[in-house]
């Protein structure tokens, strides 16, 4: 029997994502001037206020207030009417030195033997629903909000848009787990108050259906376009009004959108957030490594759907456990335990090895902090950082390295594909 599955996304202007972007922008600043920085920064945003807290061990100094204000302005919170804007908000800082008890478990004389920055389990997932091996409901939810942000920045149509927004997509699946049709789309977008409530809501809903969605659909592969019929249920700003939003409408915290950041509820999540953490924290780096493994295995044809779990003990380099679940979709004559054993031999999963393989000790994290850490397109970028204390640094970096299909040939050779 067919069934429904739903995933959501939130925009860069959502208060939790504002917090994530500030935390990751600060991480990038530290790594740009000191790649060995150990960073764990949490951000809270609310009406007219930003609070920064956490632990840092670094040889550089970052103007955290300037960085936070710049990020807020770049997102689009630039007007006093929003009750939260980059130029006038307060910024309180409570950042202190990393605990030496944690640091002694991480740093080693032989860098490749550095211990994991914490205990825990991390998951990676991949499937064949989309070209980037991501679940379709989440992929569409992200695309809707990325396009909505483009419309807002262009300022030609839907000129009433404000930065905060959310989306949700429900897909009907066949009983063989293949997508059958798009069932329901939810879009809630913050907006100016430009009319009486009823005509204002009607205008926004009509624009979402006639302006936003055609732009989204046009960029999709043909097989996904075919899932959009005339019977889609749309819920647009279902409360009827969304003028008060952003950090004024709802307090935002770093790490509160971990399902949006990963797989939209498909697969699994170990519970650790990503943003604001340097790659010695396996909550982040091992989750990227697990995604890299799962994506390359599926792309190589080992299975049509794969979940990978990695588990670590703080201060210990090698993972304490590697688990693989192919959900009965394996295309090789090995059980899941045997596949996990091959993964253990093929991938070096010590934290320092992950950092080196995926080039994680670079300022690459601001770009991850909105619209998902997984399923993004790997690319090279030149990023410029300026400090009144350490001058100007220009770095050529690779973004989203964990999305590269650079192990497919090795996987095929390993599994005889």
Q: Give CA–CA dist 185/229, Å, rounded.
A: 12
- What's the pLDDT band for 391 if we cut at 50, 70, 90? confident
**Farthest CA pair distance, the chain:** 67
The domain boundary residue, chosen from 212, 244, 276: 244
Res 106 pLDDT > 90: no
The reported pLDDT for the residue numbered 110 is 64
Is residue 32 exposed (0-12), middle (13-18) or buried (19+ Cβ within 10 Å)? buried
Domain residue limits at 359:
120-128+268-415
Is residue 388 exposed (0-12), middle (13-18) or buried (19+ Cβ within 10 Å)? exposed
The reported pLDDT for the residue numbered 107 is 62
Residues 273, 124, single domain; the answer is yes
Nearest C-alpha neighbor of 169 from the set 265, 270, 240: 265
Annotation: binding site for Mg(2+): 16
In a domain, 257, yes or no: no
* pLDDT over 90 percentage in the chain: 91
Residues 309, 336, single domain; the answer is yes
Residues 292, 383, single domain; the answer is yes
Residues 216, 315, single domain; the answer is no
Whole-prediction pTM value? Answer: 0.95
The reported pLDDT for the residue numbered 198 is 94
Three-state SS sequence of 180-204: EEEEEEEEEEEECCCCCHHHHHHHH
Res 54 pLDDT > 60: yes
Annotation: binding site for ATP: 14, 164-166, 241-242, 250, 256-257, 273, 277
145 Cα distance to chain centroid: 13
Residues 238, 299, single domain; the answer is no
Three-state SS sequence of 291-309: HHHHHHHHHHCCECEEEEE
Inter-residue contact 13 to 77 (CB < 8 Å): yes
In a domain, 87, yes or no: no
The reported pLDDT for the residue numbered 388 is 84
Q: Give CA–CA dist 256/49, Å, rounded.
A: 18
Angle between helices 408-415 and 282-300 (to 10 degrees): 60
Q: Give CA–CA dist 11/30, Å, rounded.
A: 25
Residue 98 DSSP class: P
Inter-residue contact 168 to 8 (CB < 8 Å): yes
Taking residue 1's Cβ as centre, other Cβ atoms within 10 Å add up to 4
In a domain, 202, yes or no: yes
Res 255 pLDDT > 80: yes
The reported pLDDT for the residue numbered 100 is 62
**HSE, side-chain direction, 13 A CA sphere, residue 196:** 2
- What's the pLDDT band for 203 if we cut at 50, 70, 90? very high
Residues 406, 277, single domain; the answer is yes
Average pLDDT over residues 11-17: 98
Residues 238, 336, single domain; the answer is no
Please measure the distance between the N-terminal and C-terminal CA atoms of the chain and give it in whole angstroms: 33
Inter-residue contact 374 to 290 (CB < 8 Å): no
The reported pLDDT for the residue numbered 108 is 58
Res 373 pLDDT > 70: yes
Annotation: binding site: 14, 16, 42, 55, 98, 164-166, 241-242, 250, 256-257, 273, 277, 281
In a domain, 160, yes or no: yes
pLDDT digits (tens, 9 = 90+) for 302-354: 999 999 999 999 989 999 999 999 999 999 999 999 999 999 999 999 999 99
In a domain, 331, yes or no: yes
The reported pLDDT for the residue numbered 126 is 98
Residues 141, 124, single domain; the answer is no
For residue 193, give both structure tokens.
């108050």
Angle between helices 15-33 and 64-75 (to 10 degrees): 130
Least confident of 5-19, 100-114, 119-133, 296-310: 100-114
Q: Give CA–CA dist 269/272, Å, rounded.
A: 8
Residues 289, 399, single domain; the answer is yes
In a domain, 195, yes or no: yes
The domain boundary residue, chosen from 244, 278, 313: 244
Residues 281, 322, single domain; the answer is yes
The reported pLDDT for the residue numbered 118 is 83
The reported pLDDT for the residue numbered 333 is 95
pLDDT digits (tens, 9 = 90+) for 219-243: 999 999 999 999 999 999 999 999 9
The domain boundary residue, chosen from 209, 244, 279: 244
Q: Give CA–CA dist 207/150, Å, rounded.
A: 14
* The total number of structural domains that make up the chain: 2
CATH code of the domain covering residue 342 = 3.30.300.10
Residues 392, 343, single domain; the answer is yes
In a domain, 150, yes or no: yes
Element (H, E) at 393: strand 391-399
User: How far apart, in Å, are the Cα atoms of 373 and each of 20, 175, 260?
Assistant: 12, 29, 9
Average pLDDT of the chain is 95
pLDDT digits (tens, 9 = 90+) for 23-39: 999 999 999 999 999 99
The reported pLDDT for the residue numbered 368 is 98
Residues 150, 202, single domain; the answer is yes
- What's the pLDDT band for 389 if we cut at 50, 70, 90? confident
Annotation: binding site for L-methionine: 55, 98, 250, 281
Is residue 162 exposed (0-12), middle (13-18) or buried (19+ Cβ within 10 Å)? buried
Residue 254 DSSP class: T
Q: Give CA–CA dist 127/266, Å, rounded.
A: 10
Res 290 pLDDT > 90: yes
The reported pLDDT for the residue numbered 102 is 56
In a domain, 151, yes or no: yes
The reported pLDDT for the residue numbered 281 is 94
Average pLDDT over residues 77-90: 93
């Amino acid at each position: 029997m067919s069934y429904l599955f739903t995933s959501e996304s939130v925009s860069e202007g959502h208060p939790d994502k504002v917090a994530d972007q500030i935390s990751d922008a600060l991480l990038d600043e530290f790594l740009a001037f000191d790649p060995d920085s150990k960073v764990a920064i949490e951000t809270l945003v609310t009406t007219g206020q930003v609070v920064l807290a956490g632990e840092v061990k670094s040889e550089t100094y970052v103007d955290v207030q300037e960085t936070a204000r710049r990020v807020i302005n770049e997102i689009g919170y630039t007007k006093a009417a929003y009750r939260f804007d980059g130029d006038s908000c307060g910024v309180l800082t409570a950042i202190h030195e990393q605990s030496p008890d944690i640091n002694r478990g991480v740093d080693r004389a032989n860098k490749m033997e550095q211990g994991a920055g914490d205990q825990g389990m991390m998951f990676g997932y991949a499937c064949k629903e989309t070209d980037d091996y991501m679940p379709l409901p989440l992929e569409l939810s992200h695309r809707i909000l990325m396009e909505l942000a483009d419309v807002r920045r262009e300022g030609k149509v839907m000129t009433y848009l404000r930065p905060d927004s959310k989306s949700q997509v429900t897909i009907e699946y066949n009983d063989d787990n293949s997508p059958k049709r798009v069932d329901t789309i939810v879009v809630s977008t913050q907006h100016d108050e430009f009319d009486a409530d009823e005509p204002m809501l009607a205008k926004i809903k009509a624009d979402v259906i006639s302006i936003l969605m055609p732009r989204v659909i046009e960029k999709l592969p043909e097989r996904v376009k075919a899932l959009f019929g005339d019977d889609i249920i749309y819920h647009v700003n279902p409360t009827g009004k969304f003028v008060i939003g952003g950090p004024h409408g709802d307090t935002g915290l770093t790490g509160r959108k971990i399902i949006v950041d990963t797989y939209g509820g498909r697969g699994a999540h170990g519970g650790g957030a990503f943003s604001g953490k340097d790659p010695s924290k396996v909550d982040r780096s091992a989750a990227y490594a697990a995604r890299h493994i799962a994506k390359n295995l599926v792309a190589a044809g080992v299975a049509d759907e794969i979940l990978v779990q990695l588990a670590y003990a703080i201060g210990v380099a090698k993972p304490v456990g590697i688990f693989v679940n192919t959900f009965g979709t394996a295309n090789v004559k090995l059980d899941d335990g045997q596949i996990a054993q091959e993964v253990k031999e093929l991938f070096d999963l010590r934290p320092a090895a992950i950092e080196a393989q995926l080039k994680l000790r670079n300022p690459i994290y601001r770009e991850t902090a909105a619209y998902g850490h997984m399923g993004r397109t790997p690319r090279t970028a030149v990023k410029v950082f300026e400090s009144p204390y350490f001058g100007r640094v220009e770095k050529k970096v690779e973004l989203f390295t964990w999305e590269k299909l650079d192990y497919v040939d090795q996987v095929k050779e390993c599994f005889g594909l």
